[in-house]
Amino acid sequence: MFNKKMHASPIRIPTDSSDTDWDSCFHLSHQTKIPAHQQTYELYPSDGSGESEEDTRTKEEKSIDCMSLPREKLAQSQKKTAELIKEKMNIQANKELIRCVILSRIIFGEEHWKCAQALANLAYGYLTLRGLPAQAKKHAESAKNTLLTWKGNMTSNKETKEILGALIMLYYTLGVAWLLQNHGKEAYFNLQKAEKSLKELKELDKGGVYGLQVSEKDLTIALGRASLATHRLNLALIYFEKAIDNVIAAKGDKTSDLISLYEEIAQIEQLRRNHDQAIQYLQQAHSICVSVFTEVSPKTAETSALLAKAYAMSGEAQHRDAVELYFIKSISAYHETLGPEDYETLTTIEEFSKWLIQNGGKQEAYRLLQVSLKSQISYRDCSKKVAETLYNMGRIYFAKGELQKAIPLLKKCLMIQILVYGSEHSKIRETKKILSLLQRASNSLSRSRREAIPGRKSPICKGTEE
């Protein structure tokens, strides 16, 4: 229960493979599939008569002039893309990346590595700017064959470096896209290729790599996550330790960049059952949160909740006070910054209540759940959180033997669960099972009490007297 937040939450992302932005722009450039060196002669077709050397040179100069406009447009579009990304205008930036691909096809031809580089940039844009892994994978795969084929025919050192940089971005994009779609094996395979390309580029640059869109830190973290997704915990730990060391070397040990890394490496340590080490990492994350965001902030509230659950997962009796302290800190910070109705506030209250119930604090848990329920009903009566709260309150009354109070709470919980999940969900089967048990116990208790009243006949014999 307590590792709910420690596991990477599933990311909801569109998976529609349609790409309307791309299609609307691309249909204008189908005529550009002819390589650029052939397009020169298409622009100025021969009339069949012989040409002087001077005439040929003049036409070549005109051809170069004709291509200068697309080159200028490409430079402008590349510059505009960078500006839009800086201003966080992601959709507009992505459209500019599409323009860059079209202009690259016009200038270089579809089979040129620079066109493939533009496609790799577009794929990376779909991943990082739009969060659309299906589109990212489609464009990355389109670019891959050209880059790999061209890599074997490189002539200049500069060209080699640019192609390797494009391959790093391309394989990183494919790796993270697969990871977002919960395919850890494919993700790790592609990220390993990105790592290999980065190693080649370092050797070429004699150790110094500059100007890459995908940083070594980003690649290392992605490899760590892919290792975790494939249950290679020791390998995941190595990657995250490396990422942490790199960040500390670059930005110091108090940078906010370390917070998420400490949280993720703590998750790995919990899965390895090294609870004390997990707690230490989360304490470091919490300390940075307090110094960067202050004690009362959503981010600090999040790390407080993670720390509370880490202490709880240790199962150590001496950590009970720490569990309560950090849960209360988290709920208080969420309540003050996000409000009592916010999902994070309500979720943390639920988790704290469950822990209290398991550790003999039923009365305190019920009080928290009552307050939580009032906040939820004030803005949405039928939701997963309301159903969960009613379920937990019913279980508390059940545990205390107060069946007549538990039954109506669980009935309302069941009604909401059916509306929210449908009639076949596992949660509904569980609630029905408990409710059936409670009703049988309640009926049995009622019969026993009626039979105990002097002169009252048993309801079992009612139908036999006629």
The C-alpha atoms of residue 129 and residue 255 are separated, in whole angstroms, by 24
Does the structure show a pLDDT above 60 at 368? yes
Q: Taking residues 293-302, report their average pLDDT.
A: 94
Residue bearing the bigger pLDDT, 24 or 298:
298
Q: Closest Cα partner for 36 from 79, 75, 68?
A: 68
Confidence of residue 155 (pLDDT cuts 50, 70, 90): low
Does the structure show a pLDDT above 80 at 62? no
Confidence of residue 271 (pLDDT cuts 50, 70, 90): very high
The C-alpha atoms of residue 157 and residue 28 are separated, in whole angstroms, by 35
Helix orientation angle between 298-314 and 275-293, rounded to the nearest 10 degrees: 160
Residue bearing the bigger pLDDT, 68 or 201:
201
User: What tens digit of pLDDT does each residue of 245-268 get?
Assistant: 999 999 999 999 999 999 999 999
Residue bearing the bigger pLDDT, 446 or 270:
270
pLDDT at 22 (0 to 100): 52
pLDDT at 66 (0 to 100): 52
Q: Taking residues 183-206, report their average pLDDT.
A: 92
pLDDT at 299 (0 to 100): 95
Task: Give percent of the chain with pLDDT exceeding 70.
Answer: 77
pLDDT at 456 (0 to 100): 52
pLDDT at 207 (0 to 100): 63
Tokens of 43: 């622009």
Does the structure show a pLDDT above 50 at 4? no
pLDDT at 35 (0 to 100): 43
Does the structure show a pLDDT above 50 at 285? yes
Nearest-5° Cα angle at 85, 216 to 302:
65
The C-alpha atoms of residue 203 and residue 397 are separated, in whole angstroms, by 67
The C-alpha atoms of residue 431 and residue 364 are separated, in whole angstroms, by 23
Q: Taking residues 55-60, report their average pLDDT.
A: 52
pLDDT at 5 (0 to 100): 41
User: What tens digit of pLDDT does each residue of 370-423 get?
Assistant: 777 766 555 455 677 778 878 887 877 777 777 777 888 788 778 778 877 877
Task: Give percent of the chain with pLDDT exceeding 90.
Answer: 48
The C-alpha atoms of residue 342 and residue 321 are separated, in whole angstroms, by 26
Specify whether the CB–CB gap between 285 and 263 falls below 8 A: yes
The C-alpha atoms of residue 359 and residue 289 are separated, in whole angstroms, by 29
Tokens of 434: 């408990």
Helices (H), 109-213: 113-128, 133-151, 157-180, 184-204
Domain boundaries, the chain: 1-17+69-201
Does the structure show a pLDDT above 70 at 270? yes
Q: Taking residues 86-101, report their average pLDDT.
A: 94
Confidence of residue 152 (pLDDT cuts 50, 70, 90): low
User: What tens digit of pLDDT does each residue of 28-47 get?
Assistant: 333 334 344 333 323 333 34
| Of 201-215, 335-349, 438-452, the least confident | 438-452
Residue bearing the bigger pLDDT, 200 or 453:
200
Mean pLDDT rounded to a whole number for the chain: 80
CATH 3.90.228.20 fits 1-17+69-201, yes or no: no
Q: Closest Cα partner for 128 from 114, 115, 140, 116?
A: 140
Cα–Cα distances in angstroms (integers) from residue 446 to residues 42, 399, 429, 439, 460, in the given order: 95, 19, 26, 10, 13
Specify whether the CB–CB gap between 172 and 214 falls below 8 A: yes
pLDDT at 137 (0 to 100): 95
Contacts of 323 (CB under 8 A, 6+ apart): 308, 311, 312, 355
Q: Taking residues 212-226, report their average pLDDT.
A: 94
Does the structure show a pLDDT above 50 at 317? yes
pLDDT at 208 (0 to 100): 67
Cα–Cα distances in angstroms (integers) from residue 27 to residues 30, 32, 454, in the given order: 6, 10, 91
Cα–Cα distances in angstroms (integers) from residue 140 to residues 11, 145, 411, in the given order: 21, 9, 52
Does the structure show a pLDDT above 70 at 166? yes
pLDDT at 346 (0 to 100): 82
pLDDT at 7 (0 to 100): 41
pLDDT at 47 (0 to 100): 40
